[in-house]
């Protein structure tokens, strides 16, 4: 097995684990609020600093991986996520759980600036590789809910943190051994990749539009991921924690498959059209989530997740085409600090709106409005064709 194949395997596993660890607390919380007799809004706020660190850690970790070793940074990520998850499981107080979740968020921040750059610079068919990698991101988001629901059915919430944590530690050791025996390169791989040139004015326009789009996509994604278990708990009659977790797992698994389709399309068709269609499709989805319940609610949540996931390969390729390889970790760090720093805002919005209304209707009306504004802005991207030639 060549280096690029092993990179794709471990990057994909890392993508799955990162999203799993960032998502499964939202299901575990349903058990903790009963055992600790604390309200949902109090417990969800414990993830606020962790959600912030998922974003804040992206730039320094991306910068470090550019100058040191992306593969070794991935080892640190697996070990960090595993150890912090075990600490969460061993917590017996709000302070201990807050500390464990915060360190978990910091460890999770390593993946996107490091793992995406790792894949881009080791693959020839970048859209396809990012699509495969994206599938595992969807699996991770979905498995976070599913695994949490499954483990809670048979174990305590403490073991629901500890078991995945131990598995992550083992994977980290396996990856370190492969690097030690030169099966995976310690040094960053150089890849021939054309960097597009354009005028300063056009780059400024692209940057502003992409910044707004990435922030909006990140915010609405975080809102949906954070609130969905509680939304289902309220609106799906007689759904157990396990069934809620399983349903969310299926939603994000199917959306992950669409990331692969989106990657293939990104290698062949207009990136701007793919991006705009994906943004526009989310507008009616969030509007429907605001009011639907029962089976229709599940279907519109699936549609929203599919549209969100399908445009990610196009977005990542677009960013890499305008950035030298030696700065890819840094540019993806900038992207994901924007995306994941929206996390605390999402957690705050979820907690406040639930506290005031005991529902989430207004939350998803806001999400629909955000997606409409982003869609409108994306229309003005100064873009000509799929080769990313910028208009003069």
Q: Which positions ≥6 away from 11 have C-beta within 8 Å?
A: 74, 115, 116, 118, 119, 133
**Between residues 150 and 328, the one the model is more confident about:** 150
- Look up the CATH number of domain 3-378: 1.20.1250.20
Task: Output the pLDDT for position 387.
Answer: 46
In contact, 101 and 117? CB cutoff 8 Å: no
Share of the chain above pLDDT 70, in %: 89
Residue 199 pLDDT more than 60? no
| Integer Cα distance of 322 and 329 in angstroms | 13
Closest CA to 367 of 262, 265, 293, 291: 291
Instruction: State the average pLDDT for the chain.
Output: 84
Between 23-37, 54-68, 157-171, 355-369, the lowest mean confidence (pLDDT) is in 54-68
| Integer Cα distance of 49 and 69 in angstroms | 27
| Integer Cα distance of 122 and 12 in angstroms | 13
Task: Output the pLDDT for position 102.
Answer: 95
The tens digit of pLDDT for each residue in 102-111 reads 999 999 999 9
| Integer Cα distance of 146 and 73 in angstroms | 28
Task: Output the pLDDT for position 202.
Answer: 67
| Predicted confidence band of residue 194 (pLDDT cuts 50, 70, 90) | very low
Task: Output the pLDDT for position 388.
Answer: 44
Task: Output the pLDDT for position 389.
Answer: 43
Q: Which positions ≥6 away from 165 have C-beta within 8 Å?
A: 81, 82, 83, 84, 85, 86, 88, 89
Domain coordinates in residue numbering, the chain: 3-378
**CA 323, 329, 335, 337 torsion: positive or negative?**
negative
Consecutive H or E run containing 73: helix 70-89
| Greatest mean pLDDT among 15-29, 78-92, 140-154, 251-265 | 78-92
């Amino acid at each position: 097995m060549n280096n690029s194949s092993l990179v794709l395997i471990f990057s994909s596993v890392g993508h799955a684990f990162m999203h799993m660890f960032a998502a499964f607390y939202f299901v575990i919380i349903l058990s903790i609020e009963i055992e600790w007799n604390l309200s949902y809004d109090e417990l969800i706020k414990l993830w606020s600093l962790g959600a912030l660190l998922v974003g804040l850690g992206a730039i320094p970790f991306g910068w470090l991986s550019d100058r040191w070793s992306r593969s070794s940074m991935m080892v640190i990520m697996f070990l960090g996520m595993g150890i912090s998850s075990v600490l969460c499981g061993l917590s017996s107080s709000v302070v201990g759980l807050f500390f464990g979740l915060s360190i978990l968020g910091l460890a999770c921040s390593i993946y996107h600036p490091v793992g995406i750059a790792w894949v881009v610079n080791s693959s020839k068919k970048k859209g396809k590789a990012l699509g495969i990698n994206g599938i595992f991101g969807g699996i991770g988001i979905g498995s976070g809910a599913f695994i949490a629901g499954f483990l809670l059915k048979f174990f305590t919430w403490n073991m629901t943190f500890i078991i995945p944590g131990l598995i992550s530690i083992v994977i980290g050791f396996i990856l370190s051994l492969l690097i030690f025996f030169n099966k995976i390169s310690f040094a960053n791989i150089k890849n021939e990749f054309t960097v597009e040139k354009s005028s300063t004015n056009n780059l400024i326009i692209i940057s502003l539009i992409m910044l707004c789009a990435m922030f909006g996509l990140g915010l609405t994604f975080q809102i949906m991921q954070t609130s969905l278990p509680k939304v289902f708990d309220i609106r799906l009659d007689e759904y157990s924690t396990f069934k809620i977790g399983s349903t969310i797992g299926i939603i994000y698994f199917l959306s992950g498959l669409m990331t692969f389709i989106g990657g293939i399309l990104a290698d062949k068709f207009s990136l701007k059209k793919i991006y705009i269609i994906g943004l526009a499709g989310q507008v009616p989805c969030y509007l429907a989530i605001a009011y639907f319940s029962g089976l229709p609610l599940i279907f519109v949540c699936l549609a929203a997740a599919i549209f969100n996931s399908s445009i990610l390969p196009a977005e990542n390729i677009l960013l890499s085409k305008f950035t030298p390889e030696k700065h890819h970790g840094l540019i993806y760090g900038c992207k994901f600090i924007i995306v994941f720093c929206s996390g605390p805002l999402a957690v705050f919005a979820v907690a406040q709106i639930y506290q005031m209304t005991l529902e989430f209707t207004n939350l998803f009306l806001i999400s629909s409005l955000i997606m409409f504004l982003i869609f409108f802005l994306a229309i003005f991207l100064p873009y000509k064709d799929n080769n990313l030639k910028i208009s003069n």
